[in-house]
Amino acid sequence: MKRYLLKLSGEALIGKYDYGIDPDVVSQISKDIVEVNKTKNQLALVVGGGNIFRGAGLAEAGIDRVTGDNIGMLATVINSLALQDAIEKLDVQCRVMSAVRINQISEDYIRRRAIRHLEKGRIVIFAAGTGNPFFTTDTAASLRAIEINADMVLKATKVNGVYDQDPIKNKDAKLFKKLSYNEVIKKELKVMDTTAVVLCKENNIPLRIFNMLEKNSLIKIIDGKNIGTVIK
Encode pLDDT of 35-82 as tens digits: 999 999 999 999 999 999 876 667 677 889 899 999 999 999 999 999
| Calpha distance 8→58 (Å, rounded) | 21
Which CATH number is 74's domain given?
A: 3.40.1160.10
Describe the chain by its helix, strand, coil percentages, rounded to 5.
40, 20, 40
**Could you give the 3-state DSSP secondary structure of residue 155?**
strand
What's the structural domain count of the chain? 1
> For the whole model, what pTM was predicted?
0.95
**How distant is the alpha carbon of residue 60 from its chain centre?**
25
Encode pLDDT of 165-199 as tens digits: 888 888 888 999 999 999 999 988 888 999 999 99
Residue 143 parent element (H or E): helix 137-147
Q: Which domain holds residue 98?
A: 3-231
